[in-house]
Structure 1
Amino acid sequence: MKKIAIRIGIIFLIFSVASCVTQKKSKNAFDTKKKEVYIDSMMNNALEKGFFPGAQIVVGSKDSIFLLKNYGYHNYLKTTQVKTDDVYDLASMSKVLGATLVAMHLVGEDEISLEDNLGEVVAMYKNTAIANLTLFELLTHTTGLKSGITFYQSLLSTSNGLPLLSNEKSDNYPDLFDTMYVNKNIVYDTIFLSFEPKDRYIQIYKNMWLNPEFYKGVHQKIAVANTNPRGNYLYSDLNLILVQQMLESKSGKKLDQLAKEIYSAVGISKIGYNPLKWTVEHNVVPTEIDNFFRKDTIKGYVHDEAAAIFGGISGNAGLFANAESISVICQMLLNKGKYQGKQILKISVVKKFTKSPLVKKGIYRGIGFDKRKPTAFFTKNDFGHTGYTGTFFFLNPDNERFLIILTNRVNPTRTNKLIYQDDFSSKIWKEINN
């Protein structure tokens, strides 16, 4: 009887442990069918309301893909459906998936330090007001640099002497650009801009080449752009442009080459700068009808004007990718820098960059990564980034899930901001984590 009682006790203990394990698994289980119904509803509603013409979405974990779907079309003509191999302009997601990833790799290899000063690394800034800004400050947007500079507008003037833009529509200002109307008598600066290839000129659009002498003025403007208190948070494209210069100066390689080395290491090819160099045009989703600078529907070239000035390769923008390729990077990050048994980024570096080092100052930003103050939509440990063109990706290291949404909400115009008014991406992210 005693032996029987012991056996019963052991069996009971085994079942109790198994029950606890099952409950733990069920707590973290992802109900794919239920989530897909919700996502389909959100996506179809967004398409009907005109948030964007089409989208790609991936939901996954550190070792699984739960959902990979395409919705809608390339534009509102509805002639080309979105496919998995199509690539989107990532806009500011490039800050993380390009420059920040490269910084993480170089920091891990001790090729650069977060404490390195800009002026010590990039000679042109040595005796300027921004010389002692650190890589850490640049990546956390605490430099005090203004949010951006419209470099490209210095390439434009008007033949009638009137301003480039007006608040009101008129015969002289017939076409809308963002919230302003464009002077119909735009003149391009022929000293710096050519509409045919020239030796040493940098291609900035399919029919535009820029004299590299123009960059001297660009760098001079950046050097005097520290117009806000240093140490406070102010998101700035200029920060990541400077990060790019630091990474390139330290490594002796260009940003696109450095990023490609990481992408190749994890086996992804549908991601990179200047997409027409590595994919076909019909697989590139168009962005905006630009009535101001490029006078064209932008397709195959970066939407962001600052990144365009730099030939499509910039720390602030320029990357194109499909959601499937980004999902591999997400899995690598959730696996603490490891992918398919290979350590791509050091564990300590991934942990450091995805935390909020300045949270005591009320700054929730990560190092390069966007992080949010805890809300109904985001937890304190979530990290990722968004992009102006209508892109979003976030990861939750606690439940090891991620969400990627790629859209071209700026097609045909950037004035369409419905996607933001409805907390569209945040609502889906919340559902993924419930």
Structure 2
Amino acid sequence: MKKITVRLTLVFLISLGIGCRSLKNSKKYFDTKQKEVYIDSMMNNALEKGFFPGAQIVVGSKDSVFILKNYGYHDTSKKQLVKTDNVYDLASMSKVLGATLVAMRLVGEDKINLEDKLGEVVAVYKNTAIADLTLFELLTHTSGLKSGITFYQSLLSTTDGSPLLSNQQSAGYPNSFDAMYVNKNIVYDTKYLAFEPKENYVQIYKNMWLNPEFYKTVYGRIALANNNPRGNYLYSDLNLILVQQMMEAKTGITLDQLAKEIYSELGISKIGYNPLKWTSEENVIPTEIDNFFRKDTIKGFVHDEAAAILGGVSGNAGLFANAASISVICQMLLNNGKYHGKQILKAKVVAAFTKSPLAKKGIYRGLGFDKRKPDAFYKKSDFGHTGYTGTFFFLNPNNNKFLIILTNRVNPSRTNRLMYKDDFSSKIWKQINN
């Protein structure tokens, strides 16, 4: 019945003498409405099944936004509806929307080179086993570094020396954390942690400050983390932390400030690190109820523990944004680095970063950007990234379409992986990308 209605409507438009251009726009309208109906169906089903409490979605092209919608609530209490200005913790989408964008800018300005070596740029890694790693290897995740290090756990211990976590719930391990249970007698290392502001300490949560001496331990452990074959692909948070350090060492400017310069040029303000410095707490979507490290519902501070240790500004995570702000970045990328007549990034740099330079080796990764081996959901030209908190964005430069999905699937717990088991985001991207 729906197809018949559409066909009759088009005939009616032609009978009124509407030109070819209007007819073409009418087809686009109906196509958009069909996709919106599909998205609504997917979202309502996801909310009903508890994939996440709420979400923002944007569908657009290089010069238009077709769909911008909010769904559900801030958290499982269902007291506060999601609004367009609300910002989500982007998790690993920060790798591209923060660190990689900055790298693209600096490469285009010849302020950093893809062949620059870590140890020659960042003094702390000189004469270490990872000194020869290049910016290219870090951005393509071919450095050989392990996937990550739980730095924060070395700040915790127990009063009787028993393990921090157990796979069995008991009186001694009452509260859950990531399919494990937390020792009720955890204590914090007061050599490095303070629970009120302290001179030169770095704030890592609303009631936690870190002695910067701890960073010697962090950098020392990263320097020993190359236990995989160099040149092979292994996704690692450590890579982008090192990218951040290289860029900050080259410029003398912090990552958050470097990123803010780009966002300001794009005219977007609902994006940045440490969101409580630029928006209200009620405007921030909460993430997990953390029973382990922060003993709180995380809201306004980064969910990722490594990024938290680094003060909320990290190459691997830390960005917060709303979908509308990200849509501007998508349009800039689809317009070869240009937005509203201004060249934000050089076109040749955008092209280089969003291709797969190692595809002949079976590595489909871009520079910073996630790319997939072509399959039922993804095309060869597609690029984007996902985030652990339940975030997703992908673009296709061939048809100039993009999709952004922001959720907080980790609320109340990171054990909720329903949206991944259902290929939720990939299914919507396939529908939009066709």
Q: List, as ranges, runs of 4+ consecutive aligned residues in structure 1 with deviation greater than 2 Å.
A: 19-30
Residue 163 of structure 2 is matched in structure 1 by 163
1:409-428 alignment, distance < 5 Å: 409-428=409-428
Q: Distance in 2 between matches of 1:27 and 1:284?
A: 38
Give yes or no for the alignment of 1:40 onto 2:40.
yes
Shift of 1:161: 1.6
Q: Distance in 2 between matches of 1:371 and 1:28?
A: 28
For 2:185, give the aligned amino acid. N
Q: Distance in 1 between matches of 2:147 and 2:58?
A: 31
Give yes or no for the alignment of 1:31 onto 2:67.
no
Q: Distance in 2 between matches of 1:259 and 1:344?
A: 12
For 1:150, give the aligned amino acid. T
SS at match of 1:31: helix
Q: Please report the RMSD computed on the Cα atoms of aligned residues, expressed in angstroms.
A: 1.5
Shift of 1:32: 1.1
Q: Distance in 2 between matches of 1:188 and 1:252?
A: 33
| Structure number with bigger Rg | 1
Q: Bigger shift: 188-197 or 29-38?
A: 29-38
1:90-105 alignment, distance < 5 Å: 90-105=90-105
Residue 223 of structure 1 is matched in structure 2 by 223
TM-score normalised according to structure 1 size: 0.94
Residue 298 of structure 1 is matched in structure 2 by 298
For 2:256, give the aligned amino acid. D
Residue 11 of structure 1 is matched in structure 2 by none
- Alignment check: 8 A CA contact 1:148 1:236 kept: yes
TM-score normalised according to structure 2 size: 0.94
1:302-321 alignment, distance < 5 Å: 302-321=302-321
Q: Distance in 2 between matches of 1:307 and 1:30?
A: 43
Q: Distance in 1 between matches of 2:382 and 2:21?
A: 25
- Alignment check: 8 A CA contact 1:28 1:399 kept: no
- Alignment check: 8 A CA contact 1:222 1:238 kept: yes
Residue 113 of structure 1 is matched in structure 2 by 113
1:3-402 alignment, distance < 5 Å: 31-402=31-402
For 1:107, give the aligned amino acid. V
Q: Distance in 2 between matches of 1:398 and 1:228?
A: 35
Q: Distance in 2 between matches of 1:24 and 1:411?
A: 43
Q: Distance in 2 between matches of 1:162 and 1:179?
A: 18
For 1:424, give the aligned amino acid. F
Shift of 1:160: 2.0
For 1:347, give the aligned amino acid. A
Identity rate of aligned residues, in percent? Answer: 81
SS at match of 2:110: coil
Q: Distance in 1 between matches of 2:27 and 2:48?
A: 34
For 2:184, give the aligned amino acid. K
Shift of 1:329: 0.1
Shift of 1:169: 0.5
For 1:305, give the aligned amino acid. E
Shift of 1:405: 0.1
SS at match of 2:282: helix
> Residue by residue, what CA displacement relative to the aligned partner does 1:235-263 show, whole Å, maximum 9, x if unpaired?
00000000000000001100000000000
SS at match of 2:406: strand
Residue 16 of structure 1 is matched in structure 2 by none
Q: Distance in 2 between matches of 1:74 and 1:351?
A: 37
> Residue by residue, what CA displacement relative to the aligned partner does 1:359-402 show, whole Å, maximum 9, x if unpaired?
00000000000000001100010000000000000000010000
Q: Bigger shift: 155-164 or 314-323?
A: 155-164
